Amino acid sequence: MAEYLVTGGTSFIASHVIKTLLEFGHYVRTTVRDSGDEEKDVGFLWELKGAKERLKIFEADLTVEGSFDDAVNGVDGVFHIASRVSVGRDNNNLEKFDPNISGTMNVMNSCAKSRNTVKRIVLTSSSTTIRYRFDATQVSPLNESHWTDLEYCKRFKIWYGYKKTLGEKEAWRIAADKKLNLVVVIPSFCIGPIPSPKPTSSPRIFLSIIKGTRGAYPNFRGGFVHIEDVVAAQILAMEDPKASGRILCSSSVAHWCGSEEGRDMPHSLNTTKIHELGFASFKSLPEMFDDCIKCFQDMGLL
Ligand SMILES: NC(=O)c1ccc[n+]([C@@H]2O[C@H](COP(=O)([O-])OP(=O)(O)OC[C@H]3O[C@@H](n4cnc5c(N)ncnc54)[C@H](OP(=O)(O)O)[C@@H]3O)[C@@H](O)[C@H]2O)c1
């Protein structure tokens, strides 16, 4: 069995990846910023099946150089999921972002130091690095060869897409520079059950919409994807020798009605590449939202 590092163990996506890797019998390391932080409560990770025998938790911060060295040292591959730019955060703030300090450089430097064992890095990017373009409708279906237009992001103040695009480009630059084997998974808006005690990220946004605490629906048109499909895509990207480059991971494109400009451009996404790697089919919108709502109900959040 392999030993993998999954960065950002408390995150929505990473916690699911950890859960599945443990179920498959792998050894898993993960990083959190503060393992003693009661507010974040990493305790749920220890409750995952196989965690007590095969999980190790390290402390690491993306802003601290060398912080990931110990966690990376000796693993077979790294799922880099922790991010200083995350869904529902940093949306209104461009000034603070510098792709050089996104932290990806720190993780990739640690991988370069452990290049004897680290065979591949799978980075989680976002479909916002592809879909924000003035010509999105005309050139659809959009695929892995398309990139978001930073001028479009500036025009409509889409800072999440802006930062994710610069961040992914920086990762490719570092990979080329340091000759690292990088594969990038590009999920759309992820929905599904949560393993953590509190929703973060996209499930938290969805919960605020259905509880009415958000006030209004976002005027967002985009791809949606079940979290289990994102996990399957991540593991495929790590373990299939044929996987390379960017891999789009998305089910249907749908529209939440609202009034914000720029986020509702009609478009479609082409997922031929992941299907050619053997990925069978994506779960539907009703499946992902039903699973998420059921989880919220079971947790007493609805
Ligand atoms: N959720 C989606 O719908 C979606 C869709 C497409 C792409 N993505 C991408 O997938 C990645 C993970 O998303 P998510 O939704 O799972 O994230 P999330 O639940 O919001 O969690 C973000 C994670 O990043 C960690 N982090 C933040 N700043 C850090 C720092 N300075 N040092 C170390 N760790 C830090 C957090 O750790 P702490 O616990 O210490 O705060 C947390 O584990 C992000 O890159 C996001 O853009 C997400």
Which residue among 38, 64, 87, 123 has the greatest number of ligand 1 atoms within 8 angstroms of its CB, and so is best to mutate? 87
**Ligand 1 contact, 250 CB (< 6 A):** no
Q: Residue 76 has what DSSP assignment?
A: S
Residues 97, 101: Cα–Cα separation, whole Å:
8
Cα 85 to averaged position of ligand 1 atoms, centre (Å):
7
Closest ligand 1 atom to the C-alpha of 191? 3
pLDDT, one tens digit per residue, over 245-263 is: 999 999 999 988 765 688 8
Residues 87, 126: Cα–Cα separation, whole Å:
10
Hey, whose CA ends up nearest to atom 10 of ligand 1? 124
pLDDT, one tens digit per residue, over 193-204 is: 999 998 999 999
Closest ligand 1 atom to the C-alpha of 13? 16
Per the DSSP assignment, residues forming a β-bridge with 122 are 79, 183
What is the model's pLDDT at position 99? 60
Choose the CATH number for 3-298 among 3.40.190.10, 3.40.50.300, 3.30.1490.20, 3.40.50.720. Answer: 3.40.50.720
Helices within 118-266 (DSSP H only): 136-139, 150-155, 159-178, 201-211, 227-239
Cα 33 to averaged position of ligand 1 atoms, centre (Å):
12
Cα–Cα separations (whole angstroms), residue 15 to 1, 151, 235, 271: 19, 34, 13, 25
- Maximum distance among all alpha carbons in the chain? 52
The interaxial angle of helices 227-239 and 12-23, nearest 10 deg, is 60
**Residues 228 and 287 sit within 8 Å (Cβ to Cβ):** no
Per the DSSP assignment, residues forming a β-bridge with 183 are 122, 245
Hey, whose CA ends up nearest to atom 15 of ligand 1? 201
Which residue among 11, 97, 106, 162 has the greatest number of ligand 1 atoms within 8 angstroms of its CB, and so is best to mutate? 11
Residues 273, 185: Cα–Cα separation, whole Å:
11
Q: Residue 140 has what DSSP assignment?
A: P
Cα 139 to averaged position of ligand 1 atoms, centre (Å):
30
pLDDT < 50 positions in the chain: none
Q: What is the Cα 191 distance to its own chain's centre?
A: 12
What is the model's pLDDT at position 256? 80
**Residues 118 and 75 sit within 8 Å (Cβ to Cβ):** yes
* DSSP secondary structure, 179-213, as one string: T--EEEEEE-EEES--SSSS--HHHHHHHHHHHTT
Spatial neighbors of 169 by CB under 8 A, at least 6 apart, are: 99, 147
Q: Where are the domains of the chain?
A: 3-298
Q: Residue 156: which of 128, 121, 187 has the closest Cα?
A: 128
